[in-house]
Structure 1
Amino acid sequence: MKTDATSKSAENKHVVVIGLGMTGLSVVNHLVAKSDNASIRVIDTRDNPPGADKLPPNVDLHAGGWNMAWLLDADLIVASPGIALATPELKAAAEKGIEIVGDIELFARDVTAPVIGITGSNGKSTVTSLVGEMAKAAGVNVGVGGNIGFAALDMLAYDHDLYVLELSSFQLETTSSLDMTASVFLNLSEDHMDRYDGMDDYRQAKLRIYDQTQLAVWNQDDIQTQAPANQCAESFGFSQGEYTLTLHQGAEWLTAKGEPIMAVSDIALVGRHNVANCLASMALADAVGIDRAAQCQAMREYCGLPHRCQQVLEHRGVLWVNDSKATNPASTLAALDGLQLPGKLHLLVGGDGKGAEFSSLKPVLAALDVTLYCYGRDRQAFSNLVSSPVVVETMQQAMDIAAEAAKSGDMVLLSPACASFDQFTNFMVRGDTFAEYAKTITEYNAKETVAE
């Protein structure tokens, strides 16, 4: 049983929480509940931070910039994952010896039930949700959250028997004592280059997950995820690993430690990348004793999350597909992998590229019958990937042109390979806007056709 480390570390101390929103508010509420005598202050550089109206009356807020006097007077700083440790203000606090943690570290100090952790450049939301569905199918009282859904600290109030956490590299940077039963590093591809000093720096942040786990699960098809040689580890992969694919009864089957489990064709999720996600999920579920029948039930029934290759509309034979969660080139490559259409692909890309390089998309696009629509802040970075791109300012402008050009058998796919922050609050708002606008323009075009 863990000691109440959170309250001990905050009791009678000055604590500064940096960043509000869902996570910041969960931190404040947790500290208020656990530490009667702590002085808690919040700094948010936004003028009107979300959640400000929900702060307890005894918690002071400084909005619209930094308050260095508060920061340097702190005994403990709890920083939002969105604030880099390299930020000059945080570096100044670190140089003074002030402890800087994140919400996951506070969660780690109080959680008593088993924890599963999932990180990776792509697929972590799907694996987190799928393992959660496996646990639910087995009748386990499971909490699913972290970088997806519920804030980790909020889930502690429900006294779950198992926690499944999606963990970003940003969260792992400020976490050091999360004792997980099992964790996985799914894959590594270029992302967040605006925050990290190259790919190795990004990889090292992800590898921190293995420092805090009893069983490390890694991807045989991505050597960058390999667990240390001295660690208890298992692996998954299409052709090798404890969890792999084999031919059985004339078909391809998911196989666990040599035992065929179920046919790949029975998986509800679409795409080759999701076969790998199922293998990883099985390894994690086995580590915490989720029975095989429940695992298979979840894999047969779970169709995925919104904004992940989600069909939102079929109109006159044209499919409109929302893959707004594709916030880096590797995610878009996964969406295109094995894609076969009777007609043309109308692919919408662009947004905030986060310093990424998009040349990896060029050979894949060359093999497809595709019209490429480039929009957003970094639209010009895509313009050399095909011979005749459509370059516009906004996603809606791209959709207008695609709607006019698309014919029966075609697909209009939003898979931006970029973050959304240049034009949208987040990828969910971008995806919802795509879905809503697709319905609007198709209905309008249908009325125009009738009028003619």
Structure 2
Amino acid sequence: MKKNNSRIAIIGLGKTGLSVAKYLKINSKNFDVYDTRKDLFISKEIKKYINKKNIFLGNFNKNIVANYENFIISPGLKLKKDFINEIIKKNKNIETDIDIYNKENSCKTICVTGSNGKTTVTSMLEHIIAGLGKKVKAGGNIGLPALELLDQDCEYNILELSSFQLEMTRKINCIAATITNITPDHLDRHDTFNNYIKIKHKIFNNTKNIIINRDDMNILKENYKYKYTFGGNKPKNNNEFGISIKKGKKYIFHGDKELLCEDQIQLIGKHNLINACTCLCILCSLKFDVKDIVNQIKSFLPLEHRMENFYNSGKVRWINDSKATNIDSTISAINSLEENIILILGGKLKKDNYDKLNNVITNKVRQIIIYGESRDTLEEIIKEKDKVSKVINIEDAVNKAKYFAQKLIKDHKCLVYILLSPACSSYDMFESYEERGLYFKKCVLE
């Protein structure tokens, strides 16, 4: 292919790459698409927007860099690849779909990132704003790709942004932004925790209202000018939302004003009360009424694969928390439940401190069932060996959990929680955490 300065190279043909192709075609731009997957299925939708002769599959060739001046990079591509490094070294123009969104968008945008809780916060914000009669759509890392939000004619867009999306994006234009929390994650991609922290903080570079998690020193240590904070402790003033215990129950407070009891929402766990506080902070910064926000929070339903209590049988509660792909998510899940937990762990290990698990399993967790690629390593890490059982796969884990649950109920006549909260990625056996969660539910319900 000859060098053509007017053509654009789209790198990656996943959901984001296809949305970029749609955008460029609608705007009469010339482009080619590259993807490393040699056996990528060319769907009808792909054919609708991309001429087959402009799709190139297989390993990236550095020579491609010489043929284009403009590249649009998908978030799934690791920057350290030689191909991407070559583009950067040659001073070519690199953009992401979020960069294009920032240039083309005219509606009010709220941005959310974080290691855990970002999807729940994004979805809750969409639910609240829609319930208050505003036209709103969420997208980015969930749902619609960012560029497809441009066609929705909304008053508000909510972007969930992963570290992969933030890494190459130049700046974020939004009316409010938050980082839910920062714990070590995706270090196989970002190498160091400090790199990961810096990438997450990019979300605050060009926002009008910065919302801070006051419990997280990885966020609080920066000297930001912010109006509202959220956290898991009782608020000290009217700029803070947080949690306090009253008569044995957890309540959300705004300053010294009680807003909402844990019994009034349909989500499990303190971490979800903190997610609700995050939404309150964001929407109060945008002048929404606190009472109106609280009323909408009450009707928000839990998301699939996130502490999803999908089935109850007698005294057994089955909970699908397949989205818990790191140790901090699993610790939050354990802390959100009462005693008598049968914990199912396993998958592909991350660069994470799994030893932290020993701090939370002592009292609440009765049995730990470990499956998959990580089972031998996790067994070595867990100190209470008498609680550990190793199995091959999730189906075996479900059968083992049923056995332990029946025994606990017989011996102690107690309520038992069977919790899939893997603390690992799904990639040893599944394409995604969604696929893993669906298979878990299938095994339970069959």
What's the TM-score once normalised by structure 1's chain length?
Answer: 0.88
Secondary structure of 1:347's aligned partner = strand
1:331-410 → structure 2 map (5 Å cutoff): 331-341=329-339, 344-384=340-380, 385=382, 386-388=384-386, 389-407=388-406, 408=409, 409-410=415-416
2:234 corresponds to 1:239: yes
**How far is the alpha carbon of 1:253 from its aligned partner?**
4.0
CA separation in 2, counterparts of 1:117 and 1:40? 29
Cα displacement string for residues 260-296 of structure 1 (whole angstroms, at most 9, x for unaligned residues): 4333442322100111111111111123333334311
Choose 77-86 or 422-431, whichever is displaced more: 77-86
Structure 2 match to 1:167:
161
Secondary structure of 2:367's aligned partner = strand
Choose 72-81 or 161-170, whichever is displaced more: 72-81
CA separation in 1, counterparts of 2:113 and 2:192? 18
CA separation in 1, counterparts of 2:166 and 2:108? 18
CA contact (8 A) 1:77 1:99 kept: yes
Secondary structure of 1:188's aligned partner = coil
Cα displacement string for residues 400-424 of structure 1 (whole angstroms, at most 9, x for unaligned residues): 2222332243222110011111111
Secondary structure of 1:212's aligned partner = coil
Question: In structure 2, do the counterparts of structure 1 residues 170 and 69 end up closer, same or farther at CA, with 3 Å as the change threshold?
Answer: same
CA separation in 2, counterparts of 1:410 and 1:228? 43
2:12 corresponds to 1:16: no
1:142-181 → structure 2 map (5 Å cutoff): 142-181=136-175
**How far is the alpha carbon of 1:140 from its aligned partner?**
0.6
Question: In structure 2, do the counterparts of structure 1 residues 120 and 331 end up closer, same or farther at CA, with 3 Å as the change threshold?
Answer: same
CA contact (8 A) 2:235 2:256 kept: no
Structure 2 match to 1:439:
445
CA separation in 2, counterparts of 1:307 and 1:413? 11
Question: In structure 2, do the counterparts of structure 1 residues 422 and 263 end up closer, same or farther at CA, with 3 Å as the change threshold?
Answer: same
**How far is the alpha carbon of 1:30 from its aligned partner?**
0.9
Paired letter, 1:282 = L
1:219 to 213, 221, 226: 213
Structure 1 match to 2:40:
49
Unaligned runs of 5+ in 2: 410-414
CA separation in 2, counterparts of 1:127 and 1:57? 35
1:282-301 → structure 2 map (5 Å cutoff): 282-301=280-299
Choose 285-294 or 111-120, whichever is displaced more: 285-294
CA separation in 1, counterparts of 2:262 and 2:443? 35
Structure 2 match to 1:114:
108
2:441 corresponds to 1:428: no
Question: In structure 2, do the counterparts of structure 1 residues 28 and 197 end up closer, same or farther at CA, with 3 Å as the change threshold?
Answer: same
Unaligned runs of 5+ in 1: 1-10, 441-452
**How far is the alpha carbon of 1:21 from its aligned partner?**
2.3
Question: In structure 2, do the counterparts of structure 1 residues 51 and 125 end up closer, same or farther at CA, with 3 Å as the change threshold?
Answer: farther
Paired letter, 1:213 = T
**How far is the alpha carbon of 1:164 from its aligned partner?**
0.8
Cα displacement string for residues 190-234 of structure 1 (whole angstroms, at most 9, x for unaligned residues): 211211222111111101111121111111111111274253443
CA separation in 2, counterparts of 1:415 and 1:179? 35
CA separation in 2, counterparts of 1:89 and 1:144? 32
Sequence identity percentage: 29
CA separation in 2, counterparts of 1:247 and 1:177? 37
Secondary structure of 2:310's aligned partner = strand
CA separation in 2, counterparts of 1:106 and 1:381? 43
**How far is the alpha carbon of 1:359 from its aligned partner?**
0.7
Matched residue count: 426
Structure 2 match to 1:419:
425
2:179 corresponds to 1:185: yes
Structure 2 match to 1:25:
18
CA separation in 1, counterparts of 2:310 and 2:91? 51
**How far is the alpha carbon of 1:88 from its aligned partner?**
1.4
1:40 to 8, 21, 31: 31
Structure 2 match to 1:92:
86
Paired letter, 2:294 = C
CA contact (8 A) 1:346 1:413 kept: yes
**How far is the alpha carbon of 1:254 from its aligned partner?**
2.6
**How far is the alpha carbon of 1:330 from its aligned partner?**
0.6
CA separation in 2, counterparts of 1:305 and 1:26? 25
CA contact (8 A) 2:243 2:273 kept: no
Secondary structure of 1:23's aligned partner = helix
Secondary structure of 2:175's aligned partner = strand
Structure 2 match to 1:208:
202
Cα displacement string for residues 70-113 of structure 1 (whole angstroms, at most 9, x for unaligned residues): 34422222222111212211001110011222221211111111
What's the TM-score once normalised by structure 2's chain length?
Answer: 0.90
1:240-259 → structure 2 map (5 Å cutoff): 240=235, 242-245=239-242, 253-256=251-254, 259=257
CA separation in 1, counterparts of 2:378 and 2:369? 9
CA separation in 2, counterparts of 1:314 and 1:289? 40
CA contact (8 A) 1:105 1:174 kept: no
Paired letter, 1:309 = M
CA separation in 1, counterparts of 2:74 and 2:372? 27
CA separation in 1, counterparts of 2:90 and 2:43? 29
**How far is the alpha carbon of 1:49 from its aligned partner?**
2.7
Choose 159-168 or 346-355, whichever is displaced more: 346-355
